[in-house]
Every structure is written in C-alpha cells, then in structure tokens.
Structure 1
Amino acid sequence: MPQEPSHRPVPKHLRQFAKNMRHEPTDAEAAMWRLLRERRLSAVKFRRQAPFKSFILDFVCFEKRLVIAADGSQHAESQRDVARDAAFSAEGFAIARYWNNDVLQQPTSVLEDVLAKLAGR
C-alpha cells in the first residue's frame, strides 16, 4: 500500500508569504509562539504560519488537528474567516480563536483554554 505524502503541495508564493510572516510576527503572534514553541505546552508540537491549502495557519498542531488563530479586531465579523473555518472543519480541524489583547494581557487564561481544547482532541 503506498504511503500518503507527509505534506500536501503548496504553491511557492504561499510558502514564501508564510516564511515572510514568520520573520515579521505581530506582537500577539510572537507572544503566543513563545508559549507554544519547542513542545512547551504538554509536549505537543505546534507549527506557526503554516501553509495549508490556500490559507496560512497562525499556529497548528497537525497531530491533534487544532488550529489556533491570534486575531485583531479586523476579524470580528469576517466572512472570509467563516469560510476558512468551514474549510478547516471539513478537514477535521478544530479552530481556537483568541483576540490579540487576550494573548498579550491574559496569556494564562489563553493557555488554559488551549490545554482544554487539546485534551478534548
């Protein structure tokens, strides 16, 4: 039986854009990454600014199928986010969205919520 490829092909421009985003994170993304990187959270591996289909995921744990988004106010009623979330859900991902202010001002609460979501996966 042929083995499934370890990753899906991603257009070169999207991969480059994700790379650029990793080099220039928002304050909230940098704070969240300090909390998630190097398996610091329950030894679970997260990737940041990972290309997936035609999207770039802020943070993702492929093993637990959990996407984490650190969002600003421009995402409050975004129809694009609704469509993106539906695409992720169709692929079996759960989505956890946190406001930038919460990530920066209440990181413990955010981490507790992420841990609860991981436990449920």
Structure 2
Amino acid sequence: MCSHSLPPGQGERARVRGIRALQERKSKLRGFARDLRRSGTDAEQRLWTHLRDRRLVGAKFRRQHPIGPFIVDFCSPEHGLVVELDGGQHAANASSDQRRTDFLSRLGFRVLRFWDHDLLANTDAVLEQIAESLTNPHPGPLPARERGSTKEGEA
C-alpha cells in the first residue's frame, strides 16, 4: 500500500461526491434546456414547426438538446446532425461558437449554422439545406492518422 493513499472510506466518499456533483450539473443543464424550449425565439419556433414529428425527410429531431456541456438548438442524433440558429449576439461570440462546433465535430456531429434572419426571410432554402444534409450525410471524422492524407492519384 502507498504511503500517500487516502484513509479507509475517504476514496469512496470522494467518488460519491464527484458523482453527485456530475448529476447536479446534468440536472441543471436539463432544466436550463427545458426553459429554453419554453422561451424559443421566433426563428426557433418556426424551424421547429418544420422539424418536429419527423416532418422533414422522416428525420427525428430534438430541440434544445444537451450534448456534453452544451445545449444545441436542434439535433438529429441518428443522422449525426446539429442545427444551430444564431441571432445577433453570435457575431460577438464567434470564437465560442467555433469551440462549440469543434467539440460537436469531435463527437461525430455535423453542425449547420444559420442566422435567424435568414431562416425567417427564406425558410424554404434553409429547409432544403437541412434536408440535403440528412439525405447526403458526410462521413464521420477521420481518425487522426488519416487526416490530411489523400487518395492515390488525387492532388
């Protein structure tokens, strides 16, 4: 036994405290997601009317869905697709949005971003882009050793 080990029972209590803290964070995140669903923007409400109940190419979507430390606007887990609607505040949060997109991409999600005003002005064009992504999905992220390599004969 190591001389720096915890007294009997201390390790178990620390593990339980860590699990409780994680459960509390998840519970708070779910509650926040629920609040966001109740108070969606006009653009979110409009898009949801087209995505709910498998209305767009039969794809199941969730709205204000927690993934890791983030809550995404719309997610089709079976298609690996996240759709985010950005309002005016997102222009100032570009680096934060990029970190979020990078995190989701590492999990294998494809992220589509649209400005609220674009959705409200041209809903059909946005729906076409989402439908295209659902029917022609991109392959998952390549393993690190394959990134940057090209197929034989390609430049």
TM-score normalised according to structure 1 size: 0.89
Deviations 1:6-57 (A, max 9, x none): xxx7611100000000011011100010110000001100000001110001
CA distance in 2, matches of 1:79, 1:35: 29
Query: Which of residues 82, 90, 93 in structure 2 aligns to 1:67?
Result: 82
Structure 2 residue runs of 5 or longer lacking an equivalent are: 1-22, 138-155
Query: Which of residues 83, 106, 113 in structure 2 aligns to 1:90?
Result: 106
Query: Which of residues 91, 95, 99 in structure 2 aligns to 1:79?
Result: 95
Q: Which amino acid aligns with 1:59?
A: F
- State the 1:73 CA deviation: 2.1
Query: Which of residues 54, 64, 79 in structure 2 aligns to 1:39?
Result: 54
Aligned to 1:19: 34
Greater strand share, 1 or 2? 1
Structure 1 residue runs of 5 or longer lacking an equivalent are: 1-8
Greater helix share, 1 or 2? 2
CA distance in 2, matches of 1:120, 1:87: 22
TM-score normalised according to structure 2 size: 0.70
Deviations 1:34-93 (A, max 9, x none): 110000001100000001110001000000000000111221252111100000000000
CA distance in 2, matches of 1:11, 1:116: 33
Aligned to 2:123: 107
Q: Which runs of 4+ in 1 moved over 6 A?
A: none
- State the 1:105 CA deviation: 1.2
Aligned to 2:14: none
> CA RMSD, aligned part only?
1.2
Aligned residues: 113
Q: Which has the higher contact order (CA 8 A, sep 6+)?
A: 1
Q: Which protein shows a greater Rg?
A: 2
CA distance in 1, matches of 2:108, 2:28: 25
SS at 1:11's partner residue?
A: helix
